[in-house]
Chains A and B, each alone.
Chain A
């Protein structure tokens, strides 16, 4: 087991920096928060206190600035954790500085949500390369425990295994190992679905698709509400990166919708720009909040109450079954419902299963279905793909995948009907199916 006592967080005033720093401090480490100024770093400490719901978490955190403190504190650190903006050049500049002063055995990790780990390591010393990897925590880290460990080809394999153990045993994470591919595992699979639904919003409207691909399909939050929460700028950065750097079977689905690009240009970034909004906009008038939904065709917002989504019988039937815990029957209704809406929903949901399990293999993003299951379950709060396979049935889902012209993943082709694929005995799968 590697021992981590001193941690330096670069970019500690951002949500991921402060949140990850809170995880390390809560795990008993001595943590230094660095930002452009010590005052900015102190803002990160306040964020960490709010996340921990404790002022005392700050007892283990000190603050400093890049200019005054970086070299000194990085020279003493066991782990240097980079949480700067998603800008490769910026990260490389900092890694160059870190490399000059770090101890040869110290670990350097990046929380990047999808940039190339190898590219970040390029040009660095041999000991840096050996001890450098991605540690992708999800936002907000104090709540979402799913974590990806991403080595590049030069990372010491022993460090990879030790990091997983460290994250799980000391920091309470659910950690998986994945390859250094654009967006890694969770975001690669998750944003494929999110972007596909975003594109559907152009034709069908955001309220309708968020209802159709809603929580009842096995997710804690509807897809477009998720994009609004994440921020359209972050969404764009992730899908553009995957679109530019991969050529898999879902390549076209990573193309950023044009209407979103246009609206980003006008300052629509989702919840972080409340006055402009994203797919949805909430207008507060005193205690009253009115919800508006985007009309992608015009870029205008229409009041949701005035244009309610018409309930779809099969969706309502499934929600009623979920409400009383009859998940298997509910998803059988999902698998067999007729009509264009059912086909639309199934294409997305079974497309998710197909795409996620196709990322499993020797030349893929993860080695075993368990990895993609855990990261979707604990990073996204979505039903893990094999949970959907188990609940719908191997034969039925194979048939559906064929019907929608989706590639049949090898692990699904090899699966034996009647034998559960999801085997995490301490996970209540019912939690993934909201009514």
Chain B
């Protein structure tokens, strides 16, 4: 990237929490993310110059809009801070990061705070599933459909099956790996949940089919959560480093980004890509864009990936779209253990959306925060040894808005 954007850290709430049971307003989640981020980085609230909130549907889940204003409410020193809220379905957190980094690149501000947030356990799963349907073309793809998104991502699996063949065993393995990784992450939603490949392969009262080939074990869960992230210009990062007596080059950067949006309706996307080697070519292009901007030749230039596994099929898609295998051969990476912690290219050491959790508007921010933790050696028990660069893929809708970041160090 032409203008360096430094990542100074942030904070993630415990994705296992149920904030409705705690009788908390969504601003409480934002406040914890802000206060936690300030404590983790040692940044003072008055130093922040601009704020961006990523959120999908607080109007539906929490009967509350105008979340940029709530960001200001989290600390008296933030009064007057310019803020905005960004929405791009499950990619909302990434869009907030893009907006914040664009402001820094433009020279408007030097220190930005991003907060991704979603409170989802306010309604029953069926109603929540209907709300999520607004991330698709609601009238055509979701209205009157019970759990539309499992069905849409089931269709993604069907498309793979049609073009290349797809075995449920590989999806089951993806699920088991994410759950297993989540057990190492003390902030992951499913850290004490049970999951094995055998269970993921079974279909019974404990693992019912939600839509098409998608069963409960293939799905990310309904999650409450928020994550904060601090981004800085070179000037602000240099001051930050000086204050802590560390060298500027020890601070990681957003090395590259990619952002592409496909037509919203899934059938349009599939029709558009029928002669393309990639099922979701815009997602592939976002990855290529990010690698190019980061000066990374291909996926083997990063040491790990945090990807969008809202369902096992989306991670299956990400494997070949990132270039771990040739198109349609994601199963090879699954079978060979490439994607596991300790493998050649660990995917979702945090547990990903399936294991760590998927508070929709927070996911993109959480991914970049996890990438920051990895490249600074702060990921604890899910640390990938020797991680210098990490890639993140965050997807809104049925492969509609794709956002990619490469986080780490040059060279």
| Contact status A428-B17, CB under 8 Å | yes
| Contact status A435-B22, CB under 8 Å | yes
| Contact status A323-B24, CB under 8 Å | yes
| Complex interface: chain B residues within 8 A of A325 (CB) | 24-25, 27-32, 35, 74
Query: With contacts A319-B23, A431-B14, A434-B22 known, is A426 near B186, CB below 8 A?
Result: yes
Q: Indicate with 1 or 0, residue by residue over B17-58, a CB within 8 angstroms of chain A CB atoms.
A: 100011111011111100110000000000000000000000
The closest CB in chain A to the CB of B380 belongs to A426
Query: With contacts A324-B28, A428-B13 known, is A53 near B23, CB below 8 A?
Result: no
| Contact status B194-A323, CB under 8 Å | no
| Contact status A435-B23, CB under 8 Å | yes
Question: Nearest Cβ distance between residue A36 and chain B, in whole angstroms?
Answer: 27
Per DSSP, are chain A's interface residues mostly helix, strand or loop, or mixed? loop
The closest CB in chain A to the CB of B205 belongs to A55
Partner of A57, one of B28, B32, B194: B194
Q: Is B202 an interface residue (CB 8 A)?
A: yes
Q: Is B173 an interface residue (CB 8 A)?
A: no
| Complex interface: chain A residues within 8 A of B193 (CB) | 53
The closest CB in chain B to the CB of A173 belongs to B192
| Complex interface: chain A residues within 8 A of B73 (CB) | 324
Q: Is B285 an interface residue (CB 8 A)?
A: no
Q: Is B183 an interface residue (CB 8 A)?
A: yes
Partner of A324, one of B31, B36, B196, B206: B31
| Complex interface: chain B residues within 8 A of A172 (CB) | 183, 191-192
| Contact status B28-A54, CB under 8 Å | no
User: What are 9 A-B pairs at a CB distance below 8 A?
Assistant: A55-B204, A325-B28, A426-B187, A428-B17, A428-B36, A428-B187, A430-B28, A435-B22, A435-B24
Query: With contacts A323-B25, A430-B28 known, is A143 near B194, CB below 8 A?
Result: no
| Contact status A56-B380, CB under 8 Å | no
| Contact status A26-B31, CB under 8 Å | no
Question: Nearest Cβ distance between residue B54 and chain A, in whole angstroms?
Answer: 18
Partner of B207, one of A54, A145, A326, A430: A54
The closest CB in chain B to the CB of A53 belongs to B206
Q: Is B199 an interface residue (CB 8 A)?
A: yes
Q: Is B272 an interface residue (CB 8 A)?
A: no
Q: Is A52 an interface residue (CB 8 A)?
A: yes
Question: Nearest Cβ distance between residue A280 and chain B, in whole angstroms?
Answer: 19
Cα of A114 to Cα of B74 in the assembled complex, Å: 44
Q: Is A398 an interface residue (CB 8 A)?
A: no
| Contact status B202-A55, CB under 8 Å | yes
Q: Is B198 an interface residue (CB 8 A)?
A: yes
User: Interface centre among A55, A59, A142, by most B CB within 10 Å?
Assistant: A55
| Complex interface: chain A residues within 8 A of B23 (CB) | 215, 319, 322-323, 434-435
Query: With contacts A428-B36, A430-B32, A431-B22 known, is A324 near B27, CB below 8 A?
Result: yes
Bin the interface of chain B by size.
Answer: 35 or more
Question: Nearest Cβ distance between residue B155 and chain A, in whole angstroms?
Answer: 26
Cα of A431 to Cα of B22 in the assembled complex, Å: 7
Question: Nearest Cβ distance between residue A423 and chain B, in whole angstroms?
Answer: 12
Cα of A46 to Cα of B380 in the assembled complex, Å: 36
Cα of A309 to Cα of B36 in the assembled complex, Å: 36
| Contact status A428-B32, CB under 8 Å | yes
Question: Nearest Cβ distance between residue A221 and chain B, in whole angstroms?
Answer: 10
Question: Nearest Cβ distance between residue B22 and chain A, in whole angstroms?
Answer: 5
| Contact status B198-A59, CB under 8 Å | yes
Q: Is A49 an interface residue (CB 8 A)?
A: yes
Cα of A215 to Cα of B18 in the assembled complex, Å: 14
Cα of A54 to Cα of B175 in the assembled complex, Å: 14
Question: Nearest Cβ distance between residue B296 and chain A, in whole angstroms?
Answer: 30
Cα of A322 to Cα of B19 in the assembled complex, Å: 11
Question: Nearest Cβ distance between residue B112 and chain A, in whole angstroms?
Answer: 22
Question: Nearest Cβ distance between residue A185 and chain B, in whole angstroms?
Answer: 21
Cα of A300 to Cα of B192 in the assembled complex, Å: 41
| Contact status B198-A56, CB under 8 Å | yes
| Complex interface: chain B residues within 8 A of A22 (CB) | 194
Query: With contacts A324-B31, A325-B24, A430-B32 known, is A53 near B194, CB below 8 A?
Result: yes
The closest CB in chain A to the CB of B18 belongs to A431
| Contact status A326-B191, CB under 8 Å | no
Question: Nearest Cβ distance between residue B353 and chain A, in whole angstroms?
Answer: 19
Cα of A26 to Cα of B183 in the assembled complex, Å: 12
The closest CB in chain B to the CB of A319 belongs to B23
Cα of A22 to Cα of B29 in the assembled complex, Å: 33
User: Interface centre among B28, B35, B187, B380, by most A CB within 10 Å?
Assistant: B28
Contacting residues of chain B (104-118) with chain A, CB-CB under 8 angstroms: none
User: Interface centre among A215, A323, A324, A435, by most B CB within 10 Å?
Assistant: A324
Other than A54-B206, A430-B13, give 19 A-B pairs with Cβ distance below 8 A.
A53-B193, A53-B194, A56-B196, A57-B194, A57-B199, A323-B23, A323-B24, A323-B25, A323-B28, A324-B31, A324-B73, A325-B27, A325-B35, A426-B186, A428-B32, A431-B14, A434-B21, A434-B22, A434-B24
Cα of A427 to Cα of B14 in the assembled complex, Å: 8
Query: With contacts A324-B27, A426-B186 known, is A26 near B194, CB below 8 A?
Result: yes
Question: Nearest Cβ distance between residue A279 and chain B, in whole angstroms?
Answer: 21
| Complex interface: chain A residues within 8 A of B207 (CB) | 54
Cα of A296 to Cα of B29 in the assembled complex, Å: 40
Cα of A53 to Cα of B202 in the assembled complex, Å: 12
| Complex interface: chain A residues within 8 A of B202 (CB) | 54-56
| Contact status A142-B192, CB under 8 Å | yes
Cα of A324 to Cα of B27 in the assembled complex, Å: 6
Cα of A145 to Cα of B193 in the assembled complex, Å: 11
